[in-house]
Structure 1
Amino acid sequence: MEHILLRGRFSDCKIIIGEPMESVRNHIPDRQVYIVTDDNIYGLYRTSFPDFPVYVLKAGEKSKTLDSAADICKWLMEHGAGRDAFLLGIGGGMVCDITGFTASIFMRGIGFGFAATSLLAQVDASIGGKNGVNLEGFKNMMGTFNQPHFVLCDTFMLQTLPEAELQNGLAEVVKHTLISDKKMFMWIRENIHKILQLDNELINRLVSHSITTKSEIVSRDEVEHGERRKLNLGHTWGHAVEKTDGIPHGQAVSIGLAFAARLSEHKGILTREERLLILDLLTSLGLPVITRTDPAKVFQALVKDKKRESGHIHYVLMNGLGDVSVERIPLDELKQFALSKAH
């Protein structure tokens, strides 16, 4: 078991790796607790839930909306929840996002925590204090920066993950190595088979590495004015692909990473050999690296991205394996590159 402390501006978040989900009882209050989950997790693990009221969402990104958050708020009111209530999200990235968002706005803010059940949630979505909901299919257009009291990551729960959900998380794991750790990138290449077999020791190492990488960056730039933008590597093009292609988040991020690698090579800051290593690792993990949608359509979705400012967009580029930088790129330049290549 491992504990990592993420220090925020107004509150800290305790992240617990390797503790069983049942022990979440040790981290929550003894009263006024309300649980949010989805129907998949509820069906698999409800007998392990603490004995408190449960709100069950339909699994999937389509539930991550302002309407769903409002419905949860109404449910809390019906159950007599007050300012001393605590919201516990048990689930993957969607559940964590909407739980944190709802807790942040209900009665101007109540306490919350997560038991993250997917690899994507454990290595990324539950970590860092970003909470949000989608608007008309556009990712996280409404949200808050607010740290959960804790995040519990029971890595043994990953054994029940469908292959596609495992791949979703691995895309974020690769992203974190590309940001700051070439050695870890190469280690993943050398251990692909065991990772895909969900060897628990290796999975624990991947989860710990990603959480440490993200926590250190967030602690220095919690509300994304500078360094935290690096964590958007692969997400600008990726979010647009997720919107247009309707594919899972991790697959879209993988396509976004491949796009960023091509753009970085085009700008002369990433070598062809490094780009090919990135594409080889992503495909070896079963992830796509190219969209089948018309790039012009993807670009139209991209221009609605939150990172857009006055005809420019903050884009994360790769200076090599384990080294990235954020460049303010004119949208016209990005469009010209996107439409000149198949991505």
Structure 2
Amino acid sequence: MRIKLKSHSESESLIFSLPFTEIKDYLYNLEINGKSVFFIVDKSLLAFKQYRKFLENKRFFLFNATEDNKSLESFFKIHNFLLQNKADRKSLVVGVGGGITLDITGFAATTFMRGVKFGFIPTTLLAMVDASIGGKNGVNFKGFKNYIGTFNHPSFVLISPEFLKTLPQKEFNVGLAEIIKYGAIYKPELLDFLVSNNEAIKSKTLDALSYLIDESVKSKVEIVEKDFKESGLRKILNFGHTLGHALERLKKVSHGEGVAAGMVFASYLSFKKGYLREKEFKRIVEIIKLYGLPDYIKDVNLKDILEGIAGDKKKDGEKIDFILLKGFGKPVIEAMDLLEIENGLQDLRKYYRI
């Protein structure tokens, strides 16, 4: 796979799917051509020999990739690292890791000396199909996700499905939540593939993974190219994220787990409004459960959820943009007030007999 992602700004991305050895060659060629390269690396990767060897003789900052550390404090530490190592405006900053690492790397690079070039090497499925694509960079603030950040594409994204062989199964499944999302809002054939090839996917067969990654990346690229700064179409990528982000904050669940439960709620609202047939709603639930993802998060106070949703970036006045479905591949953006959302959450509890 080789894709060029263009936007209406000056920045663009080259996205490659490469074997790990070719990723090393790509970076080596940058260095011998005079680029001063600095790496921001998820420190958990040092548990694996291939990553330790990869970092030999390189200048790198080890980042403890947690949501709590995706902060302004960590952002300033990265700036200090770049300053101390004499980075300049011609330098290149490369993020290596999952979505948290890539988000903060992009934000640090786009603000250091008013912006230096940066690239991504995503090592999780979630980062490969979502965080590395689209130009959103940022940090959390006051408990809210991605409140401070920038819109800038990385110069390149180097994806290798081989990285997923060492990814824990639970973290792998978390990435599948975003792929389910693409199937629901944009490319329904992905849902069919997830069902008919579930054994190959769970065993991380490279052919199956390559197909999922390629089709997911193409889907996001097509959407982002039409609406880089999320003024319209790109909002459909938030399917499941409004409730998902609130659950991440309240229950400390992973991004993918929050989004999975959020997609079930959005699909249920779509069903209750008559947009989605019940069998389509149940199909979303079936696929989410097939991959060990939660369809419902228990023991969450309804008032706390509503307060979390009320602080969402997608709020416009007293209403919040919710992404609903009028069928698979047919998303609709609907402004909903908190009372309507509260009633929907109560109805979903009754549906699950909780």
| TM-score normalised per structure 2 | 0.93
State whether structure 2 residue 330 is matched by structure 1 residue 323.
yes
Residue matched to 1:258: 264
Deviation by residue 1:114-172 (Cα, 9 ceiling, x = unmatched): 01110000000110000111113311011110000000001101000001110111000
AA in 1 matched with 2:6:
R
What is the CA–CA distance in structure 2 between the aligned matches of 1:231 and 1:19, rounded to whole Å?
A: 28
Aligned-pair CA distance for 1:340: 4.0
Question: Do the aligned partners of 2:35 and 2:90 also contact (CA within 8 Å) in 1?
Answer: no
* RMSD (Å), alpha carbons: 1.4
AA in 2 matched with 1:239:
H
Residue matched to 2:11: 11
Question: Do the aligned partners of 1:312 and 1:330 also contact (CA within 8 Å) in 2?
Answer: yes
**Which structure 2 segments of 5+ residues have no match?**
none
- Aligned to 2:243, which of 226, 237, 240? 237
AA in 1 matched with 2:4:
L
State whether structure 2 residue 165 is matched by structure 1 residue 159.
yes
Residue matched to 1:36: 40
- Which 10-residue stretch deviates more, 16-25 or 262-271? 16-25
Residues 28, 258 of structure 1: alpha-carbon distance in 2 compared, 3 angstrom cutoff: farther
Residue matched to 1:303: 310
- Which 10-residue stretch deviates more, 18-27 or 258-267? 18-27
Aligned-pair CA distance for 1:110: 0.6
Question: Do the aligned partners of 2:265 and 2:348 also contact (CA within 8 Å) in 1?
Answer: no
Q: How does 1:128-207 map to 2 (within 5 A)?
A: 128-207=134-213
Question: Do the aligned partners of 1:25 and 1:50 also contact (CA within 8 Å) in 2?
Answer: no
Residue matched to 1:81: 87
Deviation by residue 1:60-86 (Cα, 9 ceiling, x = unmatched): 222211110011001111111111121
Residues 28, 250 of structure 1: alpha-carbon distance in 2 compared, 3 angstrom cutoff: farther
State the SS of the aligned residue for 1:198. Answer: coil
Residue matched to 2:285: 279
Residues 190, 202 of structure 1: alpha-carbon distance in 2 compared, 3 angstrom cutoff: same
What is the CA–CA distance in structure 2 between the aligned matches of 1:260 and 1:61, rounded to whole Å?
A: 24
State whether structure 2 residue 115 is matched by structure 1 residue 113.
no
State the SS of the aligned residue for 2:182. Answer: helix
AA in 2 matched with 1:6:
L
Identity %: 35
Question: Do the aligned partners of 2:179 and 2:190 also contact (CA within 8 Å) in 1?
Answer: no
State whether structure 2 residue 348 is matched by structure 1 residue 341.
yes
AA in 2 matched with 1:282:
I
What is the CA–CA distance in structure 2 between the aligned matches of 1:215 and 1:310, rounded to whole Å?
A: 30
State whether structure 2 residue 215 is matched by structure 1 residue 209.
yes
What is the aligned residue count? 342
Residues 184, 27 of structure 1: alpha-carbon distance in 2 compared, 3 angstrom cutoff: farther
Residues 164, 28 of structure 1: alpha-carbon distance in 2 compared, 3 angstrom cutoff: farther
Residues 124, 50 of structure 1: alpha-carbon distance in 2 compared, 3 angstrom cutoff: farther
AA in 1 matched with 2:91:
A
- Which 10-residue stretch deviates more, 22-31 or 158-167? 22-31
- Which 10-residue stretch deviates more, 5-14 or 325-334? 325-334
Residues 270, 330 of structure 1: alpha-carbon distance in 2 compared, 3 angstrom cutoff: same
**Which structure 1 segments of 5+ residues have no match?**
none
Aligned-pair CA distance for 1:294: 2.0
Deviation by residue 1:180-213 (Cα, 9 ceiling, x = unmatched): 1222211211111110110100000000011000
